[in-house]
Structure 1
Amino acid sequence: MAAQRLQGRFGFRNVRLVKSEENSLGNGSYGAVYRAKCDQLVCAAKVLHPILFQTRDPAAYRIVERFQREIDFLSGLRHPNVIQYLGSCADPGTRMPVLFMELMDESLTSFLERPADPPPLPLHVQVDIGHDVAQALSHLHRHEVLHRDLSSNNVLLIGSRRAKVTDFGMAKLLGSDPRLTPTYCPGTNTYMSPEALADPPTYSGKLDVFSCGVLFVQLITRKWPNPGPRMHIIQISDPRVPSGRVHVVTPELERRKDHLDLISPTHPLLEVALDCLKDEEGQRPTAEQLCSRLIALKESAAYRDSLQQTPEETTGQAPPARDQELEQQLRESESRVGDLTREVQQLTLRNEEQARSIQQKDEQVQQKDRQLQQQDRQLQTLQVSIRDNEQVVAALQQSVEQKDAALQAKDELLQEKEREIQERQQRVREREGSGVATGPLKLEWRDGPPAPFPIFGRSVAVSGEMVYCADDTEVLMFNSRTGQWTVLPECPKQYFSIAVVNGQLTAIGGDQSYEATNTLLSLPPQDRPGIFQQKWIEQFPPMTYCRSSSAVATTNTSLIVAGGAGPDEKKAPVELMDIQTLQWSTVASLPRPRWEATATICGDRLYIGGGYGTHGSTKSVVMCEVKDLLQSQPQSLATRPPGLLLRLFRSPPVWKEVAPLPVFQSSPVTFRGQLLAVGGRTTGRDADSTSDVMQYDATTNSWKVVSQMKVKRNYCFAAVLPNNTLMVCG
């Protein structure tokens, strides 16, 4: 495979990665490690197999996330016993991530398994490698990081003495919670503690300490850990267990007895390993305590005596102790020098990059200085022009002051005119009463296209030629031009009210999972009129109160929602939403709770009637001036009409009782300027439904029958079509 030049986020200018067998350092199920070169620094590059980025398998996604997590953790960790992170980038050809790390000699697994029948390691090698691993864990735990996958495969060596921990794909941040409780065991089972193998598993820093104890046993014996079954069967005598056989958890020391029997009871490292393998995590030492105990072992006579041996020694003839000590110091010095050399090379490259960046910034500063000099010359020219125009500005200011005085006089005049207009409007209202027409009304009824299935309810909305009727969770649309009915997508709520807001068919409130909601769901239209998308979505801000079966009305500027059933139904709240700003405000409540009532605007007044109250069905009708209701919304000086005095504090709207409906379950509607009540029933039984259409007389504050429909009905839909026709259905 040809070399590829990669662009990363680190300080290397040239990165060369050749994916070939001779450069391969290791190959696994999910990825591979290759020898690479960052500038002149030889390093290791870890990549994932391309197939993981070409499938939608969730398992592949988890592997990619694990790799990205390893990059994130390594980039924030820096310790002599943690693999050194050099940088990461994306392959420009495949866009796959690449992780660059320092190059190590081999893994602890391969070191322990070479040769085929290896002799025991000298004690000082066992302790030194164990101490390096413990120091890495102590550093991780101090930064609230759990490794969770510690094994001999994830410990890399330089020579035979310097160990570093790698592979942070399963690492996890503790955060503010000292314990983690995932739903699966992420690491290698043979290294996992009892609590990590439980169902559900739990994790803390003591998991890594347990895995470190398994490593100690592996260092002493040079054998791969092979514990016995985790569960075993015992016989008990208990009537609740007919079979008398019970599965119990096997203690860890018993599971690993075959492995531990290979170790001499007097081995200096055995006691430390056994403490790490305790079943109860609270009885295990911390990583920091483990470091202290290993440091104490380094002061022992057994450790000093073992310094005369080397890992490859098989004949028993050892060089003088002084030579061995010097050799040990030399190996440690060479390891430290190697680390420092790599750091110096990386810092040198970064310094060169910073020097180039500083030079570019100096050139930018010089260019900006030239621009500032040019701007200074332009500013001097402008200052001369400003001095010439000062007299003109003074004259303009004087003219503005004169015009302000004239505007103030006009404003006072307009205020006086406003008061006159308000007084005149008050006199007109007093003469006209409620604004409801009281002339004779003649209705001729004819049959229209029937709905696709029986419907009942009162929530209806009209938009152009379309009439929308809401029944429980169903919404029907009637095209008054073609006479066709259409069943719209089912709303995820029930007992909601509908309205057309900013051209959007909107379900207001309603019950979801048997609880009242305060959300507004809209059914967005598609390109053609009457064609909608298949999903209700939330496009408007929610109301303050949760409610269902509320009374709804709209004006040119506002959506009005009154009453309804819900947790605050006793308050009978009334809310307004400004259609332009989409802001909600709460105004005066209804005189008493009610739901499933119908709201209609007749003249300049809002009427709400019918439905249910605290004591069941109600005939009550209340009325309020629409202007007072709209003006009760909070306003600011920014919305002040030009030349008019804004009333910042207004009294709340006053609801008034008018003559009650003659029957229950009647549907109020405004038709040809007159307030009508359609259908209903005289008692609580459907058999007592009526076909009467009643008209409200504001002069006598009474209702009278003006027409009769062809069929009796109650709890019906009543709407006015664009051709000034009254439509009743359901």
Structure 2
Amino acid sequence: MTTDLQGLVLKGVTKVYRQELGHGSYGSIYAVKYCGTICAAKEIILVEGLGEVEIQQTVESFIMECYQCSTLRHPNVIQFLGIYYPSATAGSVQERMRLPVMVMEMMADSLTSLVDKHEKIPLHMKYSIVHDVSLGLCYLHNHDPPIVHRDLSPSNILLTAHHVAKISDIGLAKVLMADYRMIMADTTEIVDLKSPESLGDDPIYGPPTDVFSFGGILLYTFNQLWPRPIRQVHFDPILKKKVTLSEVERRQQHLDKMIEDGEMLISLVEECLDDDPAVRPPIVAVCEKIEVSKDAVYMKESIQDTITLHQQSKQMRSEIGRLKSENYHLRLSSTRSVPLLNGVTELSEETLGDTDTSKLRIEAPPLIPALITGRYYIKWTQLADLPAPMYRAFATVQNKKVYIAGGTSPVDYAMHRVFVYDINTDRWDQLPPSGYHHGIPHIIGCKLALIGGCLSTAMQRTNKVSTFDETNQTWTSYYPDLLSARSTPGVVTHLENVIVAGGRAGDDTAVAQDDIEVFNWIENSHWRKVSINLPVPMWSFTPIIADDYLVIVGYSAGSAMKRYTGSYKIPVTNITNEPQKNSSKSNKKKTKWTTITSAPHWSTALVSNSFPLMAVGGQNYNGTPTSDIKMYDECDKSWRTMASLSSARTDVAVAAVSDNAIIAIGGFTKAGSVANALSSSLTTVELGQVQLLH
């Protein structure tokens, strides 16, 4: 027996003399040191007076566990390191049998202990733990040959210091036969977590047995209460007789409590606890459902954290403004001097005389003096060309990938495609056709969406919000449709809200819209119209969020193709927090928009996440394309040239790919007719990085 384990024997293992860590399926667990690392050791405890047959069976089962664990390698299954032979008292059973001790990685806690110690475990941690356990079970059930744990309970789900969950105590796990079924003697599994088929006189064990136990663990983890079922036989006062309850009915009170934290998993728990093992889902399907719910919870918590930080940032800015004001008044009262715009650099109490101080304007420093004074410049680097020339397109960025769509191109297929650029590999690819063109690419809840557009075979506008499924490489309807069909609207996201404004309406017309729709993607409800309309009808423009304002710089495209050069802003909360109102009142709401100043150019592109505002390219008012990159100076209320594109162009797509870099894609170089735009449209793609002048 000893020679069978020689390949697993560890040298230099010493016992750490401290209290016992716990008990496993065979005996006590204590700490040992191996190669300078503290590990957990599990030994066999044999009671004096046992018969040789019982001892032999126990030791053989223990050795089988050692062999079985030595083949398992998964981050969510406890790691077996080997065995060692401790010294034993002379004449004892341990010495006579020379019993091995199993050495495993040391864990910090168990799920049972975690629940006992914490009144309220964070929701994301609960999802992480049950997802880890489901991954571990997936590995065991899909092992070659498959392994059924049979003793899954909160006490043998162990946790690392960073709360990574691992399945332990494989002592009762059994390898399945070829028919994926096994009939064995009863185990020590906790009765409350046992499946119906494992409670009979001839218990049957298989993967559904573990799935049933896992359903109980889901209840325990999310409710932080032991999922003890009520009695199986229940007296029905209506029927006035005893009835047999299903396993789900026996735990209904625990399922009802899951609404507090695990509402998305209630139906999954019900499936896991089904009386019929054939109906229970395989652990792979269970794992997938948990992962989807976990991602949704993580995203919701992330957005909530963002909202909290956003609110804290606003409070901090307000406090900084207050302190600056107090500091200014303190300095003014002590020095009696103030810088002025009329050339006077100092004004003392003696020189004030009869001057009306209410007309004196304090000069504020530029918002970004380094950029406006020209100490920075943008260095342009040529990237891989766009697969087809395109202008008046829109770009969005996620995970070092730039998606572009919605533009016009002399190459017909380019209008119906979404192109994706990988920043790491400097390579362009094409996504499968969505069936629409002139839709706006946008990231909604980590998913790429195409908002609005036209049918590829006609100019009929659509209200579809198509979402790209990376796994199946298809476009699906994950999010609800817009209320109104439109193409090339303005789209922007603020926290959990997506705002869609304006766009072209009608069939084969250039009629522009001025209405606004809002969608809360976390609640995944429906789009709603707000009573506030755009200042003028607009299409093909880029709204952005800057300092809690929704800002638009664009042009109108009504039947006369008029262009407007106005720039406008409105508190974004006026849009996102406004309840739905009667559309007849919408005209009264236009006054809430504030005119900033004239736009620097026609057909210019705003850089998202840029504050102060940064506009790239466009046409001068005489129709000539420009290479100017202009920054809005909040102090002077004017646009200042801060840098240039590598060449003059208009209707260029831009996106911020980092804090100090933008990407410029396509555009066209000849103003005037549509023919000029098509013939001079570009495939040029450049990366602009802001650099310091030395």
Normalising by structure 1, what TM-score?
0.37
Larger radius of gyration: 1
TM-score, normalization by structure 2? 0.39
